[in-house]
Structure 1
Amino acid sequence: MNGTIKHIEYHLPARIVTNTDLRNEFPDWDVDKIEKKSGVEQRHIASAEETAFDLSVKACEKLFEQFDRENIDGIIYCTQSPDYIMPSNAFLLQRHFKLSERAFAFDFNHACTGYIYGLMMADSFIRSGVAKNILLVNADTYSKFINTKDRSTRVLFGDGAAASVIGVSENGTGIKDVVLATHGDGYDKFMIPAGGMRLPKSAATAIETADHAGNIRSADDIRMDGLAVWSFINSKVPQQVNELLGCNGLALADIDLFIFHQASLMTIESLVKKMQLPGEKVFMNIGKIGNTVSASIPIAIKDAMDCGKMRPGQKIILCGFGVGLSYGTLLLNT
């Protein structure tokens, strides 16, 4: 008995920030060059009052139009921008939708590999017999952690939430195998230095400085060493994908569709080139959405299903990578 993705829905904030908006706000930014590398033309940005939980409620409302919430046995909620330090957003979601008190609920702090981790955990609960239907939520509002004058991050990230039901596979399809890995030595290549217990926010951490490229940020904001993260992804991810395929007696040519975390156009194109993948086998939707962190893979899955790229009878590779630094690859049979 294994788990499978039964349903996915997502919700994006109403506010859209386009590259034209960025050009008007920062005439000195070379937005055309940035767009060519990032692949992002626009991104949805949460309002000041809008939280990841709010976005996830909207996604779940869509989901529960198709799935009876009474059958939810557990809630797994992935976010790095929770409403409170405690309690977890999962408890707020259980309360909001009046889900069964018998359902377990917890958050986990993860970013770009979060959907892979969430699928692995949900599948493990199902295989162990603890649950039959798990609500997996991935939601973040990274825009609240980004300095508006930091073009290295502002052009990339969008806000959003995805809600999935992971249930028991009835025909042998679903989650087949997963490989997870950690590169903690690179923890400081993608981080928010201040705001935790190690370095609480203060007047000193709010002081803005400019890096060598002119990006302005403080210790309260996201800091990303884009080149270091790209080098990590380019060196580690192809090896991990091949490892997973080898363990399952498969080759790259046996895979019908690859859905990578929508990090940036440059990152995905680099992976495609290094792994010599046919472009038609790689799904991308980053242009109109941006990098939505752990929600990017489920949003891409939903879009791929809606446009007919992801269909029954396929072998799919899902692959996430980023903050941690972390990386994970999952084999899915549809």
Structure 2
Amino acid sequence: MINAVAGVSFIGSGSAQVETTLSNEMLSRVVDTSDEWISTRTGISRRHVANVGESLTTLAAQAAKNAIAATNLTPDDIDLIVLATSTPDDLFGTACQVQAAIGATRAVAFDLTAACSGFVFGVVTAAQFIRTGTYQNVLVIGADLLSRWVDWEDRTTCVLFGDGAGAVVMQACDRDRLLGFEMRSDGTMNGCLNLAYTANAVPLTNGVTTQKGTFTAITMNGREVYRFAVSRVPEVLEKTLFHAGLAANDIDWLILHQANQRILDAVAKRLKLPNERVVSNMAKHGNTSAASIPIALDEWVRTGQIQAGHKIAMSGFGAGLTWGAALLEWGL
């Protein structure tokens, strides 16, 4: 623990995917669809799906280990773990299982649920612990196994989602590299995208009835979610840039939640950003919810495209409905 107000730096990234992939052509054997139908409407060609015996804990832990390995730290140096997920192995929380799996014996750990905005919300949450001097080294993980909750007979949703995990290590420093952020929520639009709990009545004794149920499959109004994203995401990015005193042209990379290529194109057009500065890897991963931004970030870091000092604008948006943006400078 440190005792002075600090800035935030982003010093390492990591990601992990399960082995099994499901291509559009393979999916067309399961539901009435085609590679052409999926790819032209979404930009997705394949997605990773977890098999029986594969867990969110294992996937998140591997991404975390890879992120820590990219730094000069060890798991014992981590003070806090924030796991952004909507598909935990345990509804009481999965972050503590990840903490044990990576050997981060000193770290406190908790889950954060904000669906596809989860990683951005997690980064902003972690930054507050660092800025106030509470913790020095924080691990933020975005991980989801959405294949657990997909209706494989619903071609409007099952073609979209995949499984994966990504992570970053954030550290206290003298100069703050989280340059700005903005977070929003609108619960009146919850019905546009949700994974709802359905209960059945369970009579216990005279006058007392309780409930027992489960969560149903993902449901989505794709048209409304698209409208929401193309209007609200540019707005929240522009506000974030304003807070930082920067313009869109100052961004080296734009990393949006990898939901739909059409959304990425529309947001980039609104911000007047060239396509070569917009990160897109959804073709091979699909929509991995809270994992999509850190997976894309890690891929661009490890291929040398993101360099120290680059300014990265990222925005998550989805169920809740929630949306948010953060502007950061990569590296120490």
Q: TM-score normalized by structure 1?
A: 0.88
Provide the rounded CA distance (Å) in 2 between the counterparts of 1:111 and 1:321.
8
Question: What is aligned with 1:122?
Answer: 126
> Are the structure 2 counterparts of residues 312 and 61 from structure 1 closer, same or farther at C-alpha, using a change threshold of 3 Å?
closer
Q: Which runs of 5+ in 1 are unaligned?
A: 203-218
Q: What CA deviation, in whole Å up to 9, does each residue of 1:10-64 have, x standing for no partner?
A: 11011000111012334x4243122111111110000122221121122233334
Corresponding residue to 1:269 among 254, 265, 271: 265
Question: What is aligned with 2:187?
Answer: 184
Structure 1 runs (4+) greater than 6 angstroms displaced: 196-199
What secondary structure does 2:12 align onto? strand
Q: Give percent identity, aligned residues only.
A: 31
Question: What is aligned with 2:83?
Answer: 77
Query: How far apart are residue 223 of structure 1 and its match?
Result: 0.1
Corresponding residue to 1:105 among 88, 97, 109: 109
Provide the rounded CA distance (Å) in 2 between the counterparts of 1:200 and 1:40.
37
Corresponding residue to 2:100 among 95, 99, 114: 95
Q: What CA deviation, in whole Å up to 9, does each residue of 1:103-150 have, x standing for no partner?
A: 222111121111111111111111111110012121111001001111
Question: What is aligned with 1:140?
Answer: 144
1:3 aligns with 2:8: yes
Question: What is aligned with 1:167?
Answer: 171
Question: What is aligned with 2:55?
Answer: 51
Provide the rounded CA distance (Å) in 1 between the counterparts of 2:144 and 2:117.
13
Q: TM-score normalized by structure 2?
A: 0.89
What secondary structure does 2:279 align onto? coil
Query: How far apart are residue 168 of structure 1 and its match?
Result: 1.6
The aligned runs of 1:1-334 (5 Å cut-off) are 1-26=6-31, 28-66=32-70, 67-86=73-92, 88-100=93-105, 102-169=106-173, 172=175, 174-195=177-198, 200-201=212-213, 220-334=216-330
**Root-mean-square deviation over aligned CA pairs:** 2.0
Question: What is aligned with 1:207?
Answer: none
What secondary structure does 1:24 align onto? coil
Instruction: Give the AA of the match of 2:15.
Output: Y
Instruction: Give the AA of the match of 1:263.
Output: A
Q: Answer whether contact 1:141 1:159 (CA < 8 A) is retained.
A: yes
Query: How far apart are residue 269 of structure 1 and its match?
Result: 1.3
What secondary structure does 2:224 align onto? helix
Provide the rounded CA distance (Å) in 1 between the counterparts of 2:7 and 2:96.
26
What secondary structure does 1:25 align onto? coil
Query: How far apart are residue 313 of structure 1 and its match?
Result: 2.4
